[in-house]
Structure 1
Amino acid sequence: MTKSLSAEQPDLSVIEGRATSVAHLFVERVAKTPTREAFRYPVGEQWKSITWSQVDERARRIAAGLVSLGVEPEDRVAIASATRLEWALADLGIMLCAAATTTIYPSTTADDVLFITSDSGSVVVFAENEEQVAKLRGGRDVIPSVTKVVQIDGAGDGDWVIGLDELEQLGAAYLSENDGALEKRIAQLTPESLATLIYTSGTTGRPKGVRLSHDAWTYEAAAVDSVRILNEDDVQYLWLPLAHVFGKVLLTLPLQIGFPTAIDGRVDKIVENLPIVRPTWMGAAPRIFEKVYGRITTMMAGEGGVKGKLFDWASGNARKVATARGAGGKVSPVLGAQHAIGDKVVLAKIRERFGGRVRFFISGSAALNQDVARWFDAMGMPILEGYGLTETAAASCVNRPDSNIVGTVGWPVPGTQVKIADDGEVLIKGPGVMQGYRGLDDVTAETLVDGWFHTGDIGELLPTGHLRITDRKKDLFKTSNGKYVAPSLIEATFKGICPYASQFVVEGDGRKFVSALVTLDEEAIVEWGAAHGMPDADYRTIVTSDAAREMVQGYVDELNLGLNRWEQIKKFIILPRDLTVEEGEITPSLKLKRTVVTRKFKEDLDGLYV
């Protein structure tokens, strides 16, 4: 037997009347609000703005330039770049010429760049800079399908590589001689036409190319719009990788709803940008929220004295209020008055760090710690956790501001069905589900059965209709004592308890007890070291010190208090460095590559069980 969800859904007519394609959706947006701001983007130390009609002009030149290079409908065109305005323009240009975007992270290794480019059959590649071009040059003989590389920053080489300006010039010339050419291309598009080829992050093995149609994206945009949590007066701050399915959804929503997007993929600029951009909402991975939470709480704890006590008092009251409201209860007049004072004196200043206008955040990509979620809720900036996969075009479920149950990923978006299989696996059906994996029919048949996508995640449906994810099916392990352990939940819990944690990798498959690999956040731990007699010590010296181990042990002990005996962390290792994308230990979307990490540090882990 399977348990199906039949939650009350909003009006589905909005979804049923959605645009034919992303290109159609964009054309409609330009026609509706040509002079409204579409994007703002950094130029040096300043921010500039561009309207929808201006975006249209550049996107059409790019589209026509691609046509002049011989790009045909549904040909793949790759983008290897960080999140920036030009990524969005290139993607729109690809949509307008009826081609399909292949996404590549800028941090992808040269070997994987060549694999993705070759496997996708991409004919043109947008490369951000010389570093990305070099990855392609090194294996030019294995990517014969690539006829041109368009370099965003910098000039061409007069041969295989051309500059973005040169492409736009080719496009302008083509349009002047071929009036209506793009309209003909757009008219050829159907909802089933291939729009995007996104390669999974590859936590194990080679990445798989996920085929997503135009219908998947227009559905996602219409479905989120129908929930009515966003409007055209919102301002989005978009820094997430656009090569990731979550980022791509956030890039499609403005086409449907019309709000402006501040776009800048530099992660080290987030804190600096927030009070300048003053967004009303932002999507992010849990790691960003964990870092902010750890940073602010440790900073206030370090203040001590009156400031520290005032912060504890104000945040404590806020938590009580948030908890009461979340449970549908009433707030007493005394607590309400205390909260109002604390909010004005303390919490408002914290919100100002985020620009002072955030209505909510949306978290996806991995599990969010519940304590971190409750803290943000108490600060007046609730995090709406959502759920989806590359294979479901991201947004399958999301919490709503008026029904946000911490620890769940919310209700399915209108038009998506969710059910739980006999073994606890979450199954999803809806217009957002992929067409299949490119060139992998057998794998597609295994994961896509009768329209239901088998997610590989274990979960449960609450009586309210909210979905709760327990863990990845393949990550669950059994100790030698026969007890099952869900590592992701333990890992997320620890990162909420320990403000200095960066990564916490739980291990114990087939072993007599559970252990962990620990890494610490460099910025936070250097400050901790300075306050604990190590002012000039480097990261490695601090994290391998007896003092740091004692500190971490205290947080592990606190974690163990809330775990079953067989789940408790008996031993742990603090690694002398953090896990990185460059070392292949986490994905560009900040998800842990568990198999890679446990294999790489196997000898260290084995030593714990001697």
Structure 2
Amino acid sequence: MTTEREPAFREKGDTWPKILKYNYEKYGDNHVAMRYKRFGIWQRYTWKDYFLNVKRLALGLLSLGFEPGDKVLIIGDNAPQWYYTELATQANHGVSVGVYSDSTPLEIKYFAENSETRFAVVQDQEQVDKLLEINQELPLLEKVIYWNYKGLAHYDDPALIGYQQVLQQGERLEEERPGLFEQNVETGSADDICALVYTSGTTGAAPKGALHTYKTMRAGADYHLRLDPWYESDNVVPHLPPAWMAEQWFSIGCHLLSASVLNFAEGPETQQQDAREIGPSILYHGARFWEDQAAMVQARILGADTLKRFAFRLLMPIGHKVADSKNRNQKPNLFWKLLYPLAHIALFRSLKDSLGLSNARVCYTTGATLSPDAFRFYHALNLPLKSLYGSTEGGALTGARNDEIRSETVGPVHAGTEVRIADNGEIIYRQPGVFLGYYKDQENTAEVLNDGWFYSGDCGFVDEDGHIVFLDRVEDLIELANGDKLAPQSVESRLRFSPYIKDAWVLAGPDGAYTSSIIIIDYERVGRWAGRRRVAYSNFAELSQKPEVYELVKRDIDRINEALPPGARLKKYVNLHKEFDPDEAELTRTRKLRRAFVEERYRELIHAIYGDKTEVPIEAQVRYRDGRMGTIKTTISIKSVEGVGG
């Protein structure tokens, strides 16, 4: 399968710094590039502000000894400084290396060592403390620049320097060597390496740094702008920093090319409220975000008064009926067409507003399989939510136009992409956005890259309409005893649609005898449910093992089993005594399950499930409701689902 493509926005330049300069010269102070909420007030930054901040920082880095090819580690939540740093690094012919703000010192040490970082630009005292803890083990790291000064006034480590001080040094260099920045920008090339984006490490192996040029990055942005054009008037609220590949395509590439407006929330905890104030027209999140949001709505309805619950149960089926018709590429009949506007006025409009979705016209989900139930929920609200498929190494592959969105596919391939499906179902593709290879890792590069073809490790197929159907990782597919294959992600995503289930892990035991699930309850929502029913508990572990909670979870498992083939239905389940934790390597920083790791960690529990035991004793550290930590000995129950055969 091969399609052709044409480049977009060619006149703006072939590197991100050139495009920033173009926008500065075109818009100057007349158009907002960014907003950043600080202390409850939205601060405006024009394209002139964006350009001058990048220029001063780039020159400041040069004054500190920055050389072409140097790597800059960027650690922090979404903020203008994150983007200034990436563009300043690239303007100096350097390479940006993004790291998530919740990374541990050990993880940061790995990224810094592996990328051979000389400079780090970080958000605040928390990130500074992490780097100072490992600084002696990083001989190549010369300077740590911080943009939030709170708590750092008395730090005197010579490696530390404040962000404003670096800008001032940049201003002095501009006086000494006027035009240096502009010269560096103009000598940049589309084939220059500009970013090192690390994989999530889902497979259990250490994350690998994918090398990208402006050309490979630009391909992903171009694909999406042709799929759904962005405009100068569009508002975007990024959720994750550009350590995530999708943010590189959207928040860096699409933003610069379209000259739209980026809006940064005051912090992760205010993300939803701040997004509601802005009313973004373009949204892109991982599947977990969309599922969590849908589950939150359900939880609110369950805790609402009788009238609101009645309205939800009465009107949502109208939205579902219309959404189901569109998913089948059919038009709803006149009866449902007349009912839908009434349901919109009575319920859907207020629901969309409460979620900050009133102005949404482009909505993407990516990174994992989205629950069909969550997909149906958003389309009932008339949101054009679509699944995209791509990867850090392979680039963007698919996306559907609004009139061809289907819940079971990730859309047709982008123009300019060649796709093959291997005998084992692996998706293999070649296109201009494929990475150059893993940094300092020829062996792993050779395993996934051959003659420009990227071997994704993902399983799927092309349906009769030319859409890609993504199933799961090839290595994660479960072969059942009856010979059927089961994609665990599809079942796990359905379970997470429940307001009471935060996470789920589906497995089939050593011989694929039958499927079971290890459930992570949503502590906050189940806690409120338990409180209304006067179910006493003191911590997560105790609440998870309550018989009433097991019965609550079973209702959702029964719901899921109805939609599964008989051989794939969940026969047993366990409520785990704790949440999966990225700090314990059970999840990646993007909240994907690291299956190989958890299989080893919970090996005894798996043996108990498939050894026909009914409980397993465990010793665990717990946090009590008052914040105290302690160690308890408890028993995890293993429950069977009635009516499901082995």
- TM-score for the superposition, normalised by structure 2: 0.89
Is the 1:125–1:148 Cα contact (8 Å) retained in structure 2? yes
| SS of residue in 2 equivalent to 1:455 | strand
Report deviation, 1:181. Answer: 0.7
Report matched runs for 1:448-459 at 5 Å: 448-459=449-460
Asked if 1:460 corresponds to 2:461, the answer is: yes
Match of 1:517, SS? strand
Q: How does 1:413-562 map to 2 (within 5 A)?
A: 413-479=414-480, 482-496=483-497, 498-511=498-511, 512-534=513-535, 538-562=539-563
Q: Partner of 1:27 in structure 2?
A: 21
Partner of 2:235: 235
Gapped regions of structure 1 (runs ≥ 5): none
Q: How far off is 1:535 after superposition?
A: 7.0
Residues in 2 aligned to 1:481 and 1:121: alpha-carbon distance in whole angstroms? 50
1:402 and 1:266 mapped to 2: Cα distance?
35
Cα RMSD (Å): 2.0
Distance in 2 separating the partners of 1:240 and 1:265: 13
Q: Is the 8 A contact 1:376 1:383 kept in 2?
A: yes
The DSSP-based 3-state class of the residue aligned with 2:8 is helix
Match of 1:172 in 2: 171
Residues 546-575 of structure 1, C-alpha deviations (whole Å, 9 max, x = no match): 001011112112212222333222111101
With over 3 angstroms needed to count, the CA separation of the structure-2 counterparts of 1:605 and 1:305, relative to structure 1, is same
Deviation at 1:361, TM superposition (A): 2.0
What amino acid is the match of 2:241? Answer: P
Deviation of the 1:387 alpha carbon: 1.2
Match for 1:602: what amino acid?
A: R
Change (3 A) 1:264 1:415: farther
Contact 1:358–1:381, Cα closer than 8 Å, also in 2: yes
Q: How many residues align?
A: 602
TM-superposed deviation, 1:343: 0.6
SS in 1 for 2:432: coil
SS class of match (2:251): helix
Q: Which amino acid aligns with 2:15?
A: S
- For residue 279 of structure 1, report the CA deviation from its aligned partner: 0.8
On the 8 A contact 2:284/2:363 being kept in 1, the answer is yes
Cα offset for 1:114? 1.2
State the AA in 1 paired with 2:94. Answer: A
Q: What is the CA deviation profile of residues 409-461 of structure 1, one whole-angstrom value per residue up to 9, with x for unaligned ones? A: 12223323322122211112111110000111121112111111000000111
CA contact (8 A) 1:18 1:222 kept: no
SS at match of 1:149: strand
Q: 1: distance between equivalents of 2:165 and 2:197?
A: 27
Q: CA deviation at 1:516?
A: 1.5
Residues 82 and 265 of structure 1 are in contact (CA less than 8 Å); yes or no, is this contact kept in structure 2? no
Partner residue of 1:379 out of 364, 378, 381: 381
Q: Which runs of 5+ in 2 are unaligned?
A: 612-646
1:363 aligns with 2:358: no
Specify whether residues 328 and 565 from structure 1 end up closer, same or farther in structure 2 by C-alpha distance, changes over 3 A only.
closer
Q: Which amino acid letter does the alignment assign opposite residue 22 of structure 2?
A: E
Letter in 1 for 2:174: L
SS of the counterpart of 1:474? helix
Rounded to whole Å, the distance in 2 between the matches of 1:534 and 1:84 is: 43
Q: Which residue of 2 aligns with 1:315?
A: 316
Question: Given the superposition, is the C-alpha separation of residues 30 and 354 from structure 1 closer, same or farther in structure 2, using an over 3 Å criterion?
Answer: farther
More deviation in 308-317 or 161-170?
308-317
| 1:247–1:522 CA distance, 2 compared to 1 (3 A) | farther
Shift, 1:334, TM fit: 2.1
- More displaced, 596-605 or 427-436? 596-605
Distance 1:320 1:115 in 2: 50
Which is worse superposed, 412-421 or 239-248?
412-421
Deviation per CA, 1:178-227: give whole Å up to 9, x if none. Answer: 11111222233221211101121112121111101111122222222222
Partner of 2:604: 603
Structure 2 residue 113 is the aligned partner of structure 1 residue 113: no
- Give the whole-Å Cα distance in 1 for the aligned partners of 2:285 and 2:86: 21
Alignment-mate amino acid for residue 168 of structure 2:
Q
Name the counterpart of 2:61.
66
Alpha-carbon displacement from aligned partner over 1:164-191 (angstroms, at most 9, x marks no partner): 1111111111111111111222233221
Task: Give the CA deviation at 1:481.
Answer: 5.6
Q: Equivalents in 1 of 2:171, 2:549: separation in Å? A: 61
Q: Which amino acid aligns with 1:170?
A: Q
Deviation at 1:104, TM superposition (A): 1.3
| Conserved 8 A contact 2:265-2:275 | no
* Structure-2 separation of matches of 1:227 and 1:396: 12
Per the alignment, in what secondary structure is the counterpart of residue 87 of structure 2? helix
What is the Cα deviation at residue 479 of structure 1?
A: 4.2
Note the alpha carbon deviations across 1:107-153, whole angstroms, 9 max, x for none: 22212211211111111111222222232223323322211111122
| Percent of residue pairs bearing the same amino acid type | 24
Segment drifting more, 526-535 vs 451-460: 526-535
- Partner Cα distance (1:464, 1:157) in 2: 63
Number of the residue aligned with 1:137: 132
Q: Is the 8 A contact 2:37 2:266 kept in 1?
A: no
2:635 is matched with which residue? none
CA distance in 2, matches of 1:141, 1:303: 55
Q: Indicate yes or no: 2:311 matched with 1:306.
A: no
